[in-house]
Chain A
Amino acid sequence: NAGVTQTPKFQVLKTGQSMTLQCAQDMNHNSMYWYRQDPGMGLRLIYYSASEGTTDKGEVPNGYNVSRLNKREFSLRLESAAPSQTSVYFCASLYTAFDGELFFGEGSRLTVL
């Protein structure tokens, strides 16, 4: 089973460039999430989509946009990348059941020069 798949796994950008991180899950989960993790730190919620057709801001949404394309896919876009956005980005999905755990992708390492 694929679970949660993120692409790309590595990316180097120059300041001001744009890019989209793609995320897809094959578990029929309703909720999807984007987190960032800076070195030695915890995960900070960027945006989430509690269900298809909805998106909500998390703790650190500035500089990002998201699209819940369908139930399977949730993309994260950086319109004008900044060095402060250098981080590891995790996509995750969650079933509706309240005791359901988050299933994580492998992470995408982004470096902005």
Chain B
Amino acid sequence: AQKITQTQPGMFVQEKEAVTLDCTYDTSDPSYGLFWYKQPSSGEMIFLIYQGSYDQQNATEGRYSLNFQKARKSANLVISASQLGDSAMYFCAMRDRGNDMRFGAGTRLTVKP
């Protein structure tokens, strides 16, 4: 089964600055999808961005971009121009061809004013 690793339990960033949240993965399947979700303190899961293993370009969605380095098996989330509302838990996830979808342990991001 695939494995997702997020090595940063907590991160701090100054408001309006950019921050990178790390995610590495391990799979033997050449076809997979990578996702990032945000979980605010209210508890709901909010989809942020998707990257397919065959996508040639890094995914972007507004202030979110995914730095996809396939050879290194990393899929880091970059948040530009951080806002106070970005303070939350962030989870990286991977889906394989069999639709098995697993999550990393998460990174708690705190944005400082």
Most buried by B among A31, A99, A101: A101
Report yes or no: B102 in contact with A45, Cβ–Cβ below 8 A. yes
Instruction: Provide the A71-113 mask, 1 if CB < 8 A to any CB of B, else 0.
Output: 0000000000000000010101010001101101011000000
Further pairs besides A58-B100, A94-B95: 9, Cβ < 8 Å: A33-B101, A43-B91, A43-B103, A45-B101, A50-B100, A92-B45, A94-B99, A99-B50, A102-B45
Q: Does B43 contact A (CB under 8 A)?
A: yes
Q: Looking across the interface, which residue of chain A has its beta carbon closest to that of B48?
A: A101
Q: Does A41 contact B (CB under 8 A)?
A: yes
**Size category of the binding interface on chain A:** 20 to 34
Residues of chain A lying within 8 A (CB to CB) of residue B102: 45, 58-59
- Docked complex Cα distance between A87 and B98 (Å): 26
- Docked complex Cα distance between A98 and B101 (Å): 11
Residues of chain B lying within 8 A (CB to CB) of residue A94: 95, 99, 101
Residues of chain A lying within 8 A (CB to CB) of residue B1: 59
Question: How many residues on B have C-beta within 8 angstroms of the other chain's C-beta atoms?
Answer: 24
Q: Does A56 contact B (CB under 8 A)?
A: yes
Give, as a whole number of angstroms, the nearest-CB distance from A90 to chain B: 7
Report yes or no: B106 in contact with A101, Cβ–Cβ below 8 A. no
- Docked complex Cα distance between A44 and B43 (Å): 15
Instruction: Provide the B15-42 mask, 1 if CB < 8 A to any CB of A, else 0.
Output: 0000000000000000101010100000
Q: Looking across the interface, which residue of chain B has its beta carbon closest to that of A107?
A: B43
Residues of chain A lying within 8 A (CB to CB) of residue B99: 30-31, 48, 50, 94
Residues of chain B lying within 8 A (CB to CB) of residue A44: 103
Known: A104-B44, A106-B44, A107-B43. Is A98-B33 also a contact (CB below 8 A)? yes
